[in-house]
């Protein structure tokens, strides 16, 4: 699932095809809603016109641009690594390896060489979006299905599923908090949700027209959000209250 290539018209069409919001989530209250604070933009990256997945390996940010994973320094913005791999949706890092959604599969990749070490089926069979690593599992966003799956990184088996009431793009965990990106029409948000119920605990509204195609935390005070067809990655400040 290539979120970055969707246009506003396509998003609207997909929304109407999906039907009504699930009844259990239709009236989900939002406890705290505020504008997202975008503190920096990176890219576009060379000839790449899109950014799909995003991850952070503790030293650099990685952006999936379709045919190349681009690693860049967050302080300088300089590109430091490029890996020639298929990368058309979410990206994750487990502390040693990169994981990349590529069409209907998830590849486990050596970040030094770009070699694919193992492959598992993606739960959406090509309709997958965000990807992150936490608690020994991969967490995979299902864009049109409005779901997040926790899956076994060795087999791809689904361990549990969390429902959202918005299209799910990027997914990330930070300090025990589950966040995901949304993108519908001209609106994108970053949402902190309860992993048990899917209830929205906090929402950051991105500027109008700014899409979120991938999401990852740096483990501290920033989120990195893929910008779809803008070809950019944006650093968004994580709210102080969330870190209390």
Residue 119 lies in a domain: yes
6 located within any domain: no
24 in a structural domain: no
**What pLDDT digit, counting tens, does each position of 74-124 carry?**
999 999 999 999 999 999 999 999 999 999 999 999 999 999 999 999 999
Task: Residue 160: give its domain's CATH number.
Answer: 2.120.10.30
Q: Are 204 and 190 in contact (CB under 8 A)?
A: yes
Give the structural domain span for 48: 29-175+189-243
Q: What is the pLDDT of residue 31?
A: 58
Residue 167 and residue 183 in contact, taking contact as beta carbons nearer than 8 Å: yes
Query: Tokens in use for 78?
Result: 């300089």
Residue 8 in any domain: the answer is: no
| Tally of domains in the chain | 1
Contact between residue 196 and residue 163 where contact means Cβ atoms under 8 Å apart: no
Backbone angles phi, psi at 145, to 5 degrees: -80, -10
- The DSSP code sequence of 38-98 is EEEEE---TT---B--EEE-SS-EEEE-BS-EEEE-TTT--EEEEE---BSS-EEE-SS-E
| Residue 102 phi, psi (nearest 5) | -135, 100
- Whether 179 and 10 have beta carbons less than 8 Å apart is answered as no
Does 17 map to a domain? Answer: no
Q: Is residue 12 in some structural domain? A: no
Could you list the mean pLDDT of each consecutive 10-residue stretch along the chain, which spans 244 residues?
39 31 46 91 93 96 97 96 96 98 97 97 94 97 94 97 94 96 92 93 95 95 96 94 46
Q: What is the pLDDT of residue 186?
A: 85
| 5 falls within a domain | no
83 Cβ neighbours under 8 A, 6+ residues apart: 68, 69, 71, 98, 109, 111, 114
Q: Residue 17: its pLDDT value, please? A: 28
**235 located within any domain:** yes
């Amino acid at each position: 699932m290539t979120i970055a290539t969707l246009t506003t018209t396509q998003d609207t069409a997909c929304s109407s095809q999906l039907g009504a919001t699930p009844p259990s989530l239709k009236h989900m209250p939002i406890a705290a809603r505020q504008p997202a604070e975008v503190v920096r933009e990176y890219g576009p990256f060379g000839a790449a016109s899109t950014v799909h997945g995003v991850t952070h390996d503790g030293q650099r940010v990685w952006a999936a641009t379709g045919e190349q994973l681009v690693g860049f320094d967050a302080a300088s913005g300089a590109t430091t690594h490029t890996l020639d791999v298929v990368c058309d949706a979410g990206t994750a890092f487990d502390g040693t390896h990169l994981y990349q959604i590529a069409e209907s599969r998830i590849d486990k990749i050596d970040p030094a060489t770009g070699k694919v070490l193992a492959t598992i089926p993606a739960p959406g069979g090509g309709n997958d979006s965000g990807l992150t690593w936490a608690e020994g599992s991969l967490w995979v966003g299902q864009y049109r299905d409005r779901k997040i799956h926790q899956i076994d990184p060795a087999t791809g088996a689904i361990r549990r599923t969390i429902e959202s009431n918005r299209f799910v793009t990027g997914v990330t965990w930070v300090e025990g908090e589950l966040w995901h990106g949304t993108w519908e029409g001209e609106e994108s948000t970053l949402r902190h949700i309860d992993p048990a119920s899917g209830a929205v605990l906090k929402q950051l509204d991105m500027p109008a027209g700014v899409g979120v195609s991938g999401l990852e935390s740096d483990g501290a005070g920033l989120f990195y959000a893929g910008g779809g067809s803008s070809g950019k990655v944006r650093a968004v400040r994580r709210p102080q209250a969330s870190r209390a």
